[in-house]
Amino acid sequence: MNAMLRRRLERATRVRDFLRAHRTEGAEATALTRLEELLTRAAELATQQRAGVVAARGSIEQRAEVRRALQGKLLRYLAGVGAVAARENAELGAQFRLPRTRATNLAFVTLAQGMLAKATEHKDLLVKQGLSEGVLGDIASALEEFEQTLEVTRAAWREHPSLRLRACVGASGDLRAVASEITEQVRLLDGLVRYRFGDDAELMAAWASARNVLGPFRSKAEPGAQAPAIVKPAA
């Protein structure tokens, strides 16, 4: 969730709390009920989005770990044995080449599956040349886990398209739409509160405080802004 959206929801929450603390009736009560419904919906969407972010990031991290194990240990071992076995069967020379480090996930899986299939076909020869019998099972399990992480990521992207477009930051379209309606509802309540309590200076000051939520301060000058002039002391 981005900072601007977070500030909107914080303001709406403070507005809700203010109105709960003061007796509401009629149009105010109806508007407050609607605001509470919208805040509940926003909280549900935010929770779903966080779950999607966690799932996507977790699957990406897990996939990277599995790929490192495949690339740096399992497939490397298989490629080494395959190179030795190629002395007896020249056909195998081109079958056990390691995937490129920067290969896409699809290219990596395709090549690794091809190596596994060829190794299974020539298992006896490879074992004879020093391949541990458990390695092929380990490669198969690692590839299955790798593909599962891909599906988890794809599922997260399907349910929350903005995760892919914003690299797991920002807000989903549904959440932005609810936030926009919340802003409209707060404006409506602002008019109602001013109508009811406009003559009460102390209460209006409290209302202004409830409606105002400070955002993050900028630590850097805006693009194109001029730096303040430096005044040197007189000699």
Those residues whose C-beta lies under 8 Å from the C-beta of residue 176, and which sit 6 or more positions away, are 5
pLDDT digits (tens, 9 = 90+) for 183-219: 888 888 888 888 888 888 888 888 888 877 544 434 4
Average pLDDT, the chain: 80
| CB-CB contact of 78 with 127 (8 Å) | no
pTM over 0.75? The answer is no
pLDDT at 172: 65
Classified as helix, coil or strand, 52 is helix
Cβ–Cβ < 8 Å for 9, 182: yes
Residues 6+ apart with CB under 8 A from 12: 35, 38, 39, 182, 183, 185, 186
Residue 167 has pLDDT above 80, yes or no: no
**Mean pLDDT of the region 127-154:** 91
Which helix (H) or strand (E) segment holds residue 33: the answer is: helix 27-69
Q: Is the pLDDT of residue 157 over 90?
A: no
Task: Give the pLDDT confidence score for residue 227 in this predicted structure.
Answer: 42
Q: If 0-12 CB within 10 Å is exposed, 13-18 middle and 19+ buried, where does residue 6 land?
A: middle
Do the Cβ atoms of 112 and 70 come closer than 8 Å? yes
DSSP designation for 234: P
Q: Are 8 and 183 in contact (CB under 8 A)?
A: yes
* Residue 101 banded pLDDT, cuts 50, 70, 90: confident
- Angstrom distances, CA of residue 112 to CA of 134, 147, 151, 173: 16, 12, 18, 38
Phi-psi region of 98 (alpha: psi -120 to 50; beta: other; left: phi over 0): beta
User: Which residues have a Cβ under 8 Å from the Cβ of 24 and sit 6 or more positions away?
Assistant: 32
Query: Amino acid identity, residue 3?
Result: A
Report, as an integer, the average pLDDT of 156-169: 54
The tens digit of pLDDT for each residue in 25-77 reads: 778 888 888 988 998 888 888 877 777 677 778 788 889 999 999 999 999 99
Question: Cβ neighbours of residue 35 under 8 Å, at least 6 residues apart?
Answer: 12, 15, 16, 19, 182, 185, 186, 189
